[in-house]
Amino acid sequence: MVDEFPAGSLGEPSAAKVEIGLSREEFAALARHLESLATALSDAADDAPDGITEAMRMKPGMTMGSSLLGKRAGGAAEDDPSKMPAEHVFHLMLQDCTNCHAKFREKRQ
């Protein structure tokens, strides 16, 4: 994802904020975290049965947190995403997208 937003990629058609250049390492860390989650979810999808199993579901007490760099209460960021239930990985991906857009993307009307 970092390659999709090289230095100077602000302006049309991009909605990237100037912060993407000012906080390049933070953006890159978030993109790497999102990539690791996407890879784990893709692998889980490749091996998935036709229906949703209990092993795919989030468990009670799984933390969601809201840090831009994936540092969530309960150590979820240190866990191997390939060992997490697919539903949890999906929610963490959505959270990363939301956090990234909140910091690095201009709202358009």
Q: Tens digits of per-residue pLDDT, 8-59?
A: 777 677 788 888 888 999 999 999 999 999 999 999 888 777 777 776 666 6
User: What residues contact residue 25 under an 8 Å CB cut-off, 6+ apart?
Assistant: none
User: What residues contact residue 51 under an 8 Å CB cut-off, 6+ apart?
Assistant: none
Mean pLDDT along residues 71-85: 64
Q: What is the pLDDT of residue 106?
A: 86
Q: What is the pLDDT of residue 80?
A: 87
Q: What is the distance between the alpha carbons of residues 15 and 106, in angstroms, rounded to a whole number?
A: 5
What does DSSP assign to residue 105?
B
Q: Confirm whether pTM is higher than 0.75.
A: no
